[in-house]
Chains A and B, each alone.
Chain A
Amino acid sequence: MANIKRIKVGTASCGLAAGSGAVLEAVKRNAGNIPVVEVGCIGHCYAEPIVEVECEDGSSIFYSRVAGTDDAARKIIALSDEGRFSIPEKRASLEKNIVTRLAGRINPVDLAEYRANGGFEALKRAFSMKPEDVVEEVKKGGLRGRGGGGFPTGMKWSFLAAKKVPEKVLICNADEGDPGAFMDRSMMESVPYQVLEGMLIGAYATGATKIFIYCRAEYPLAIKHLTLAIEEMKKAGLDQLAGREKPLEITIKEGAGAFVCGEETAMINSLEGHRGTPRFRPPFPTDSGWNGLPTAINNVETFANIPPLIAMGGEAFASVGTEKSKGTKIFALAGDVKNPGLTEVPMGITLAEIVYDIGGAEKGSVKAVQTGGPSGGCIPAEHFDVKIDYDSLKELGAIMGSGGLIVIGKNRCMVETARYFLSFTHRESCGKCTFCRVGTTRMYETLERIVAGNGTEEDIAFLEDLGPKIRKGSLCGLGQTAPNPVLSTLRFFRNEYEAHVKDHVCDAMECRALVDVKLNTDKCIHCGLCIRTCPVSAIGPDFKVDNAKCTRCNSCIEVCPKKAISRVRKGEGFNSSISK
């Protein structure tokens, strides 16, 4: 049996939420002299808590869904066969770990370990080049902004580099606000040095003297790791760029819970201590940004792409991907899928491969995928053969966005899904532009009406009319993309909207106002669990669900051991106020 070199426990946010804190304690209690380290996320969130045993011979054994008990820990240390985990072959063959190579494999805050795995080699290579050649290299790599905009990074950098002023600013956009996206969090938690190395290279290439990392406050672990990593880097003198007199200023700023601050000019306002409303462009931030200084803003994943790009060279980097979208993209896969988590894949992979082969969703169980969060659109299963890149998804009325991929199962209502996204955007609209402020609210109200069963056919026409107007009448990306979920569901699932307004039917049985709850007496074993669970006492001793009282909270459906209770169409269940 191989000797154990060390044991790694995944304690990124997703691991901790799955209980890896207890696992870590248990492993430490039982490991004796074997070193135990905390690592980030390897992307297989569905298998958390994950423990990796690194052997002297260089091999690794993974254990998944580890319990936080001494017994489980002892079994792992004995290299038991039980609970071993290997990455499914099909998934492994589709993934390409360029940016996430070290994520979850190294101690996130150990500078020496990052260096031992090739860390800061790219920075060294950059220093051996002239700054303008570094910008050229990034251009050659064809890297485009990973935050969703898709603007060529090299070009943005060249705008900033062209400004001949003593002070310039580089901002790392770590305000990952799209619900359903968590790749930036994972990168900051798992490989903070890689993200920071990307920023150092960016500062060297563009001549920036000041770096801000604008991170959302909801990511405390990411902030902790970045803070520790910056301290270590300063101690090692890495903040001193080649050819500079003064070390680079690096500051972390915490966001305060405003989605719109992910928009770059709103972020600049927020960094200056104002309300986070977007600004008119021009002037563009590279002309006049933070406190009037030339400023470039790049996303976390974009920065994380820089060290591998510089290390392998632009040409090699550009050999992966499609003609106009180079490299890989990290997607955050969640929703109605068996294996949610992070996956890094080459651009140009099909949605089907991600959803079915990587995500493990069953064919036929999926209705659509929502890409790009609330700014994106839904793509129905019949279009899953589309190759994912920045441009192809636009043609379908969606966007690639920052990489959130929410899989929507057959049992979900698309009108409700659209309503949900609008509930988010109308709340998050900063209020500056009337069409965004009022328009998204009107859209939301209309959708509320439809899911409540009070919609009319005019409502559908109203949504179709209003959508393009909100797009045109909004200053920033939030408003320009807010109608996407509505317009794309209208395009592909118009029948569902029509069923809601014409027949007052929700076939997915999701819209509360359009369903009743019914207990099937043939299946019922009279255990009484539902009666005890019902928060509103809607189930009588005769085991009838009274729909006049029922709030459709699903508590009884969840607890029933015989699956005897289900949602049915409105009017098909018992209702005391009607039968009396």
Chain B
Amino acid sequence: MSEEFSYLNQLGSDKGDLIKGLQLVQSREGYVSDEAICAVSKHFSVPEAEVEGVLTFYAQFKRVKPGKYQISVCDGTACHIKGSTQIQAWVSAELGIKDGETTPDGLFSLVTVACLGCCSLAPVLSINGKVYGKLDRKGLTRILNEYRKMK
């Protein structure tokens, strides 16, 4: 295995940990690259095609490098009722990217997620795991500007 992915050795080679292995790769690299698939395949002795089959099944795994700040707009039921479609449209308009894309400067990426479990604060989005609730137009711009300033 290439040294780059030697951290996989902290897991056993039990196939039941394949998803855990992919999660470990993603937490380190931010996404799962072709090279990572090869490494995972060798580590668990599972064909590369099967590794890719498993990872594409689960929404959590990304095959392209995400932005520095990952925006997840919640489109769970409560958020949807509270206008998450608008939130998505606003974020898209502010950043010029669509669902699944990254801004050219690599600063922001945008995904829609099913439910962040903060339904009572709908509509919500999270940026790198930090949740912002009860969003409105002005609040959204303010939040995005804060991150823009941080760079």
Residues of A within 8 A of B (CB): 13-14, 16-18, 45-46, 48, 176-182, 185, 217-220, 253-259, 270-276, 291, 332-336, 340-341, 370, 373-374, 404, 406, 408-409, 412, 417, 420-421, 424, 428, 430, 533, 535-536, 551, 553-555, 558-559
Contacts and interface: CB of A to CB of B under 8 A. Distances in A.
Given A17-B133, A335-B77, A217 B54 contact: no
A45 B120 contact: yes
Given A179-B77, A420-B77, A17 B118 contact: yes
Contact of B16 (A258, A272, A421): A272
A471 to B, nearest CB: 21
Given A180-B77, A275-B53, A535-B90, A14 B121 contact: yes
A418 B119 CA distance: 19
Contacts, number: 155
Contact of A256 (B19, B46, B120, B136): B19
B93 interface: yes
A340 B77 contact: no
B124 interface: yes
Interface stretch (B2-10, B100-108, B109-117, B142-150): B109-117
Contacts of B75: 179
Given A14-B121, A17-B124, A179-B77, A218 B57 contact: no
B38 interface: no
Given A179-B76, A179-B114, A340-B119, A258 B19 contact: no
Nearest to A417: B81
B117 A218 contact: yes
A340 B78 contact: yes
B89 A553 contact: yes
A180 B76 contact: yes
B63 interface: no
A345 B22 CA distance: 41
Nearest to B18: A273
A74 B15 CA distance: 54
Nearest to A219: B117
A60 B57 CA distance: 49
Interface in B46-66: 46, 53-54, 57-61
Contacts of A275: 53-54, 57
Chain B, interface size: which category?
Answer: 35 or more
A177 B113 CA distance: 11
Contacts of A17: 118, 121, 124, 131-133
A256 B93 contact: no
A185 B76 CA distance: 15
A341 B58 contact: no
Contacts of B113: 218, 257
A551 B89 CA distance: 9
Contacts of B86: 553-555
Contacts of B116: 13, 218
B17 interface: yes
A182 B59 contact: no
A563 B137 CA distance: 15
Contact of A259 (B54, B60, B83, B114): B114
Contact of B120 (A218, A255, A341, A559): A341
Given A14-B118, A17-B121, A256-B23, 8 more contacts: A13-B117, A17-B132, A253-B20, A333-B120, A406-B78, A428-B114, A533-B137, A535-B90
Interface string B74-104: 0111111111001001100110000000000
